[in-house]
Amino acid sequence: MTEPVGQQLKQAREARSISLEQAAQATRIRVRYLVSLEAGDYEALPSIVQMRGFVRSYAAYLKLNPDALMAALSEEMPAASISPSSRPGVLTEETLNTEHADAIFAMVGEKLRNQREMLGLSLDDVERHTHLRTYFLQALESGNLKGLPSPVQGRGMLKNYASFLGIDPEPLMLRFAEGLQALLSARQATDTRRRSPAPRRPAEEASQVRRLFSMDFMITGVVVLLLVGFVLWGAFYIAGLGAGASESTATVTAPSIADVLLITSTPSPLDEEALATPAESATLSPGEANSTGSPEGEGSTG
């Protein structure tokens, strides 16, 4: 049975003692894409066209037959298995950082595994001498950070494992720290996206603005109308009180013309007696006048 294309690529690269970084620099293919090709994870590649181009370039670099690999790839995975709709069109910052970290951890683990296999040691042999459990050794070699107790303990295990294999641990420690920084950046990007509110649609914002403005205008209009009505009512009420007071004052101080004429045309009883007295005195005779004279005259006559 023919081996998978990714396995053939990986065996050819390891047979020539070529690291993923060297292959990436020579082929101009990103490390994460090379890792995906060797692992058979074709869905992580941008498109089918780029996948085929990557396989051809990688195979030519490793001195393999590109046509044979392309034929094996077509049999291994039908073209319909990867549809453009099943892959995201745009890689987010979180995805890029995560893939970058995975590629770094994979390269570190590959270097450890190659050195161990070159020395002819098994994982059990390493466990006996380093007192590191086989499970953690496998996690280091596979680049599985989740299989380690913690990043800090993982750094210590990596240092001990590299020192035991005769590898300078400092470059590996720096690469491991770079991978941890990429994971931290990915988590920060995820937290920022979760905290940020979802953008509102322009139509929703416009409708909300119109709703708020209409409500404000309605309340303001009602208040203004109430104030204007109250002012007008107060003005009319004060004007009515002033008009009533002026009418009552005019009635008391200025009598009507009919009252004036009535008073002047009707004589009083005293005026009638004053007018009648001269007439009666003029009609008396001289004798009556003497008889009605003083008492002294009556006494002299008697």
- Sorted by where each begins, the domain ranges of the chain are 1-89, 93-195
Task: State pTM to two decimals.
Answer: 0.39
Q: What is the pLDDT of residue 231?
A: 84
Q: Which residues of the chain have pLDDT under 50?
A: 79-91, 250, 279, 281-284, 289, 292-302
Q: What is the pLDDT of residue 87?
A: 45
Long-range contacts of 208-212 (CB under 8 A, 24+ apart): none
Q: What is the pLDDT of residue 119?
A: 87
Q: How many other CB atoms are found less than 10 A from the CB of residue 4? A: 16
Q: What is the pLDDT of residue 254?
A: 53
Question: In whole angstroms, what is the distance from residue 130 CA to residue 145 CA?
Answer: 19
Tallying the residues shown for the chain, one arrives at 302
Buried-exposed string 72-87: b where 16+ CB fall within 10 A, e elsewhere: bbeebbeeeeeeeeee
Q: What is the pLDDT of residue 226?
A: 85
Q: Locate all alpha helices (DSSP H) within the chain, ordered by sequence.
A: 5-15, 20-27, 31-39, 48-61, 66-76, 93-119, 123-130, 134-142, 151-164, 169-195, 202-253, 257-265, 269-283, 286-291, 295-301
**Could you give the maximum distance between any two Cα atoms of the chain, in Å?**
199
Which two tokens mark 218? 């309605």
Q: What is the pLDDT of residue 213?
A: 59
Q: What is the pLDDT of residue 273?
A: 56
DSSP 8-state assignment for residue 84: G
CATH class entry, domain 1-89: mainly alpha
Q: What is the pLDDT of residue 80?
A: 37
CATH class entry, domain 93-195: mainly alpha
